[in-house]
Structure 1
């Protein structure tokens, strides 16, 4: 079964919009695990507009499944990850002012930088994953960085699938097959939803984990978070 890691950034966004502690981020993290999610993901950004760096620390005793921290490996982020020591760090090349992640790494251009960063995390016992587009030479480049896993950036698939174009999954299938051949673990995320997750999972060989936040929290407004978590788990079987 592909694991479901719930990204709780949007819970922090809602909390921060009023100040205070409603909704309670730590309770939501505990609850999604109780409901069956096999991981919790956060993506702190330098301006702390949703997840705060202190949230990352406060979640340590709460997350008893897999703890995944995403972000651009600037010094402040690296220091946080090395302090918290999550199960996995996912490296994302997003700009400070990015609304959301919008591209994968150029693993060839940034090879030496990624090698250095990944080596530091691995020395500290933290599994590494890097965010990549479904482009074969970028997958090959990822292998050269020493990363444990890659996370396929799935926005293009989700867009094409929403238009009724199931062929949009083809580059993801090819990328997954290559990752499997190279011995890279395979994660995926961005714009995956209840509408498209089963089709994606059924067609991607060796898919270990998906990280889903915006769609899952939005769907939960109508259907309830416990129900939605279990709907994802059923589709990921």
Structure 2
């Protein structure tokens, strides 16, 4: 069964809007785990617009499931990984100024940049996942880089799902099949929600993990965090 990692960036966004420590990010992470989350994801950006560097160190002390830290692999990010030793590092290609991750890695033209970084992180004992789009040549490039996993960037799927689910999933299913053939683990994330999640994992049953933040926190405003996490776990059943 595909595992649910709850991205708690938006919890930190709410806290930062007023300062102080309400909501308490570490407590929300603990509660999310208690309610059934099988992992916690954070993205500590350099401008600390949501998750701060301090949050990452605080979370290290309380997260008991899988801890996934995502970000652009600059020196700052690599230092955090070296000191925190999360279970997984997810590398995203977005520069500091962008609002959210909006593209995958070009594993062909940026191979010389990525390969030594992946090797460095793996040498720390951390599983490496890289954010990619569902293109066969990109998957082949990821395989050549030696990454442990890929994370499929699912915005195009989520957008297309509203009009034609079969057409929206086709490239993802084909790309995932190629990654599976290579023995690469598969994660998925971006714009996944209660409407499109079950179809994704039914069509691609070997997805290891989904990372969901924005939609899950929005749903929690209406349904409550515990109930929302249970709804997402049910959506992951195939």
Structure 2 counterpart of 1:116 = 116
Structure 1 counterpart of 2:210 = 210
Contact 1:30 1:63 in 2 (8 A): yes
Structure 2 counterpart of 1:104 = 104
**Structure 1 unaligned residues grouped into runs of 5+:** none
Shift, 1:146, TM fit: 1.0
- Say which SS state the counterpart of residue 140 (structure 1) adopts: helix
Aligned pair 1:62/2:62, yes or no? yes
Aligned pair 1:235/2:235, yes or no? yes
Structure 2 counterpart of 1:224 = 224
Per the normalisation by structure 1, the TM-score is 0.99
Shift, 1:205, TM fit: 3.4
Instruction: Give the 5 Å matches for 1:21-40.
Output: 21-40=21-40
Root-mean-square deviation (CA), in Å? 0.8
In 1, distance between residues paired with 2:222 and 2:167? 30
Residues 113-146 of structure 1: CA deviation (Å, up to 9, x unaligned): 1111111111110000000000010000001111
- Say which SS state the counterpart of residue 18 (structure 2) adopts: coil
Shift, 1:162, TM fit: 2.1
Aligned pair 1:195/2:173, yes or no? no
**Structure 2 unaligned residues grouped into runs of 5+:** none
Residues 192-222 of structure 1: CA deviation (Å, up to 9, x unaligned): 0011100111001310000000000001100
Aligned pair 1:162/2:162, yes or no? yes
Per the normalisation by structure 2, the TM-score is 0.98
Aligned pair 1:44/2:44, yes or no? yes
Residues 50-93 of structure 1: CA deviation (Å, up to 9, x unaligned): 00011111101211000000000011111111111000000000
Structure 1 counterpart of 2:16 = 16
